[in-house]
Amino acid sequence: MAGQPKGYHDSFFWNVYDRIATGVDHRRGWDKLPTALGILVLIGTRDVLRRRNLFDTTAQPAENTPPVAPYDDRVLAARTDDGTYNDLENPPMGMAGSRFGRNVPIEHTFPPAGADLLTPSPREVSRAVMTRDEFVPATAVNALAASWLQFMIRDWFSHGKSPTDNPIEIPLEPGDPWTTNPLRIMRTRTDPTRPAGPSDLPPTYTNTETHWWDLSSIYGSNPVVRDMVRTKSGGKLNVNAAGLIPYPTDPALDPSKVPGFWVGLAMLQTLFTLEHNAICDQLNSTYPALSDDELFEHARLVNAALVAKIHTVEWTPAVISHPTTVKALRTNWWGLAGERVHNRFGRISKSEVISGIPGSETQHYGVPYCLTEEFVAVYRMHPLLPDDYPIRSVADDSVLEEGTLRSLAGPGALEVVDRVAMVDLFYSFGRLHPGVVCLHNFPRFLQEFVRPDGQLVDMAALDIVRSRELGVPRYNDFRRLLHLKPAVDFQSLTDNPVWAEELSRVYGGDIEKLDLTPGMYAERRPRGFAFSDTAFRIFVLMASRRLNSDRFFTRDYTPAVYTKAGLDWIDHNSMRTVLARHYPTLKGPMKGLKNAFHPWTSTAA
């Protein structure tokens, strides 16, 4: 069902406003307007998306759903490990093991059948238009932006471990150097809560993580991980004498055995583990009567909210640095009244537009909250990752060693973390640029990625297969369903005539067959954007929804739940202050920067 929340901007005024905003966006484009007008257009765009692009899969038939623990008063002021009881009237909402939703109508999410799943060949799409010929840097940001995204994804979603039987087999074209023919890609794990037997509904899939923005990438989504990371003293998390996380060596829990683990992720897990402990020290100093459990729960709330703030007002404005989006994202957090008014007076209005989302009313827009398959699809941003990583000394900018994405991933990541000081790793990433999310900029290493289990995977081909398999519409249909104009042809899609010709050749001249990922990578980007405007439409909807639906960011974003000291910590800190607190020598390279995700300065003499 689509979200049509009664009373949500459904007055005559808002309907007219939203139609005008949509019309201006289609004719002119929000990004070509003065900042104030652009924000007004985006407000209307978001209204339309909220009303017309939230679809519930949890109401479909289900069985053997994850159990919900009995109610306990402690859930009123603390996050649960599995995400239950965030919504007190619907305890399972957003919990680990619940389904992904959709941003397009359910009837448009059937995966292609038979040969259509492999047409055109995902491997040929990968080789012809995704392969990185020469690294294209996003020069306005540093490589911590790529690390941050992986850190967030580990918190937000995972479809779980794929079964090893019945893989998707992609026949190879003559001359393809892949080691086996066909190329095999494991299928996505089926929904364990879906009743067996035939159905006239498209497939559904479940999230092994909680759907909430709760920093489960550190705390886990179950009691086993939570208890493993805690010291059970002073509310703190485990770190060793070197200030590093003592990752478990048990193969079942060792993160380096999970695809996607790399140095960039370990760095941010370490940083915000240290930050959790610093928050505990502050809370313990201010409120010495708090128990170990109380310190842990308060610090977890504060740490997660600080991460959400950094993502909203620092990371996202860095990677989509158009003046309108920078202002709009700050408005999401502080409202049009702004940060200074918030810091001096607090909220001056119940309206999220005036005073920001944190502390406003909880709002689900008529549909139970969850992340969506379309949200997952637009976050396929592997081109952000460089292939080469010179590891530099913060002391003098000298190169300590030449790293590659291959050497920094998997079990090798922990070897690097043990060998190289964390402060030097952060400095190195701060000095390096990520890649632009565009065609011909996919990391070479990931097109021949050896998983920890030894399986060889072309991640670019896998990205194409996953969107098709999960029923994400192809590029033009995706745009239509988000109320955008489709591309007329390949030449109108992109301002790069070589790309247009390559895409036309791969897709047989049929623009309607173009997959979402290469379409987004090819399209013209708004000024300052490292990724596409099509992807941005999902962010317009879902970035605020992740805050609006979470009571710990809305109705319970209060001193009674967080403590006054906890809310002050969130208000007065940023990525810069977090880095400088735990690695003081980074103050020099970040001097003069308003945003820690902007390129840092060299410490060379």
Q: How many residues does the chain have?
A: 605
> Tokens at residue 419, please?
């060998």
Residues 6+ apart with CB under 8 A from 182: 169, 170, 171, 172
Please report, as a single letter, which amino acid is at residue 416: V
Q: What residues form DSSP beta bridges with 170?
A: 183
> Tokens at residue 565, please?
């000291």
Q: Identify whether the C-beta of residue 429 lies closer than 8 Å to the C-beta of residue 384.
A: no
Torsion of CA 406, 207, 224, 260, to 10 degrees: 0
Distance between CA atoms of residues 70 and 517, nearest Å: 42
CA 494 to chain centre: 25
Element (H, E) at 168: strand 168-170
Distance between CA atoms of residues 117 and 131, nearest Å: 21
Q: Identify whether the C-beta of residue 589 lies closer than 8 Å to the C-beta of residue 425.
A: no
> Tokens at residue 221, please?
């989504």
Distance between CA atoms of residues 9 and 7, nearest Å: 6
Distance between CA atoms of residues 536 and 322, nearest Å: 12
DSSP 483-516: T-PPPSSHHHH-S-HHHHHHHHHHTTT-GGG--H
Residue bearing tokens 């990433």: 429
Of the candidates 188, 183, 166, 169, the one whose C-alpha atom is nearest the C-alpha of residue 127 is: 183
Residue environment code for 480-498, b if the CB has 16+ CB neighbours within 10 A, otherwise e: ebbebebbeebeebbeeee
What is the CB-side half-sphere exposure of residue 597 using CA atoms within 13 A?
24
Q: Identify whether the C-beta of residue 268 lies closer than 8 Å to the C-beta of residue 218.
A: no
| Residues noted as catalytic | 379
SS (H, E, C) 115-139: HHHHCCCHHHHHHHHHECCCCCECC
Of the candidates 383, 538, 519, the one whose C-alpha atom is nearest the C-alpha of residue 460 is: 383
Name the 3-class secondary structure at 453.
Answer: coil
